[in-house]
Structure 1
Amino acid sequence: MREPMHVLIKRLTELPGPCGHEQAVAAFLRARWAEAGAEVSTTPIGNVVGRIPGDGPRLMVQAHMDEMSLTVRTITEDGFVHLGPGVRGPGVGILPEAVNRTAHILTADGPVEGVFARATGHLRSAAGGRLDGGITSFDEVFVDLALPDRRSVLDKGVHIGSPVIYRAETRLMGDHLIGKAFDDRLGLALMTALAERLAGTSPTREIVLVATVQEENGAVGAASLRHDLGSFQEAIALEVGPAGDFPGMPADAREIALGHGPVVVHSDTATHYDPGLTRALLELAGREGIPVQHAAFASFGTDGAQLTMQGIPTVLLTVPTRYTHSPYETVHLDDVSAALDLLVAACTR
């Protein structure tokens, strides 16, 4: 008996998978996809591939394994860890979400637990910090491991460049699921559930599931897929879709809302998605009675642009998600279920 979808998502999101260190997530996927009958392999750079034989065009279904992360930049003589970005770009924007949460610094011997900290408001002005609480640089936040000195930190296996993530439990609140790394473990959960739904069937396409590394670092993992796997007639990229249905958002941001179905994305900052495939997916949703939303996202990009640049016609399907790149990303389970139904239809109709 298959586990409920929210349990599968919880298993995936609570795994550590910082950018460039996705091994725990990859191991989970290899085991689950093999159990579902897929032919599983791993590319030289760590992308996980699951092939499901079928008749018809060769279809890639793709999502990424990595989550937003930081890195150890320096270790002070008194044992505090200063941080740097773990992904391409400045990365300062994720620090406010991390402060006062549990930190995990990943080492060869497992995670070392600490807390993301900064000067308390009682002391901030005396230290020259911002009175309004805003965080403008990596110098304002550090990790406190409750260790007395630099040597004690090094003895735990922590070193310059060690990946750092925040730890957060994924929890169910009514019909909503809240946690970290929904970007893009939701896509991986959909692919895993798809493989299990298709077990023992004869899909109308040869389906190749692909879980990529280092999407948050500029779609690095997706860049070699055509070289490693050959040509594809079509691809469905899976992602979260930023939802703005909460106070303080302008009308255009509120177009995407939880509980109104998955989002078919026509364009984003990086690319326009294949209009023929996009139209076909929308028509399929209509025939199947699956509600969908439309989006043209700004300040947003996916592995789908990299697939397009490699000559693979690609459509982008997303699950509306509040508070992306935070420890409390939020989705509605009806949207997840509808996205899975649409994926199954795309592979079997």
Structure 2
Amino acid sequence: MFELLKKYTEMPGPLGHEHRVQKAFMDDLKPLTDEIQLTNTGNVVAHFPGEGRKIVVFGHADEICYYVLSVSDEGFLRIVSYATLRGEKVSYPYCLVGQKALVIGDEKDARGVFATPSAHVLYQKEREQPLDTWSVHVDIGASSSDEVAELGIHPGSPIIWNPTTERIGKKAFGKAMDDRFAHAVMLELAKRLEGSELSCDLYMASTVQEEIGLKGAEDLRRGGYDISLALDVGIAGDYPTLEKGRMPIKLGDGPALVYKDGFIHYNIEIIKELRRTAEKNGIPYQHGIFTLYGSDSGVMMAGGAKPNLIAPPCRYTHLPIEMVHLDDIENTIKLLYHYITK
């Protein structure tokens, strides 16, 4: 499972440029089902025929990213966050500085670093000021704007942080656990379904542009599903720099069944079905409510589905060091398997 998780989390798939993730997902699904569709909006939808309620299990392919806003004469890249239109500047600037960067050019990628002036050249007053948009740039080793242009990089080119995904015992950390763990879960689930009898008509999907407002899911909801089971990272609060009680979700205690987030209340009937399935099969789970949060299932009700969210806990979300517990990933697969099979 870790190798599959590593494959998908390390893959570049910034918002609006999810094609590499989608192609890999389709290629990995081909031995498992004959019915795979790439929609006009860029979503991937796979069908596993069965009898009963029409259920879709899905996650999103896009990841947190930045974009080139301008290129200096000397070849440095000024950046802007994917979320600028939501009123944010460069989010999490302190986590950006010192990170490896990968700039997605027209034909090839360019490696670089997120950087800011070091303490050796800053006055004391400047050191005490918080970082802002213009304090962070990306250095790809170019010496001029012409050199940048030759690499196919220009305003609008996406930039992601570019760490490797690592494992420490039963925990794994890296970028894009949000939401590429879902692809690993769906692929492993599809493998385990071979030879099993489904209790539903099952679909699995990978959506695009979730991070900017659930855009791919707005297309997916037209599929006429009875139940939507979104897979997304849960918010873990089990570390000492967060006050106890603010978020009681813990790594290793099972996936969170989420009742409500900042957009929607999930379907209580299906939550209770999932709880009974977990309890019957000895699968640990947690109760969750996430206030500063939203998932693709938030728009599925408008298409007639009963919306739900299954969320394995994750520490340090929307950072390049997102950490998950492999037991929680495994228990998510087990919960889904027992829920959709007879």
Which residue pairs with 2:75 in the alignment?
79
Describe the superposition over 1:258-278 as per-residue Cα deviations: whole angstroms up to 9, x where unpaired.
111110000000100011011
Q: Does 1:50 align with 2:50?
A: no
State the partner residue of 1:163: 158
- Give the secondary structure class of the aligned counterpart of 2:134: helix
Structure 1 residue 85: deviation in Å? Answer: 1.4
2:95 corresponds to: 97
Number of residue equivalences: 340
Deviations 1:76-105 (A, max 9, x none): 111110001124532522332221111111
Contact (CA 8 Å) 2:226, 2:304: kept in 1 or not?
no
Cα separation, 1, equivalents of 2:68 and 2:168 = 34
Q: Which residue is 2:205 aligned to?
A: 210
Task: Give a deviation string over 1:187-230, Cα, whole Å, max 9, x none.
Answer: 12111111111123331111110100000010011111233x3x
- Change beyond 3 A, Cα 1:342–1:221: same
What is the RMSD of the two structures over their aligned residues, measured on CA atoms?
1.4
Q: Distance in 2 between matches of 1:95 and 1:39?
A: 43
Distance 1:295 1:38, change over 3 A: farther
- Out of 185, 191, 197, which is 1:196 matched to? 191
Q: CA deviation at 1:254?
A: 4.2
Q: 2:128 aligns with which of 102, 127, 131?
A: 131
Contact 2:108 2:151 in 1 (8 A): no
Shift of 1:35: 1.4
Conserved? CA contact 1:243–1:253, under 8 Å: no
TM, length-normalised to structure 1: 0.94
The aligned counterpart of 1:29 is 25
One-letter amino acid of the structure 2 residue matched with residue 178 of structure 1: F
State whether residues 245 and 253 of structure 1, in contact with CA within 8 Å, keep that contact through their aligned partners in structure 2.
no
> What's 1:19 paired with?
15
Q: Which amino acid aligns with 2:147?
A: S
- Scaled by the length of structure 2, the TM-score of the pair is 0.96
Structure 2's unaligned 5+ residue stretches are: none
Q: Distance in 2 between matches of 1:219 and 1:55?
A: 29
Identity %: 34
Q: 1:322 aligns with which of 311, 315, 320?
A: 315
Instruction: State the SS of the aligned residue for 1:20.
Output: coil
Q: What are the residue-to-residue correspondences of 1:231-310 with 2, within 5 Å? A: 231-310=224-303
Within 2, Cα distance between the matches of 1:129 and 1:150?
A: 28
Equivalent pair of 2:210/2:296 in contact (CA under 8 Å) = yes
Equivalent position amino acid for 1:80 in 2:
F
| Contact kept? 1:37, 1:199, Cα under 8 Å | no
CA distance in 2, matches of 1:271, 1:252: 22
Question: What runs of 5+ residues in structure 1 fail to find an aligned partner?
Answer: none
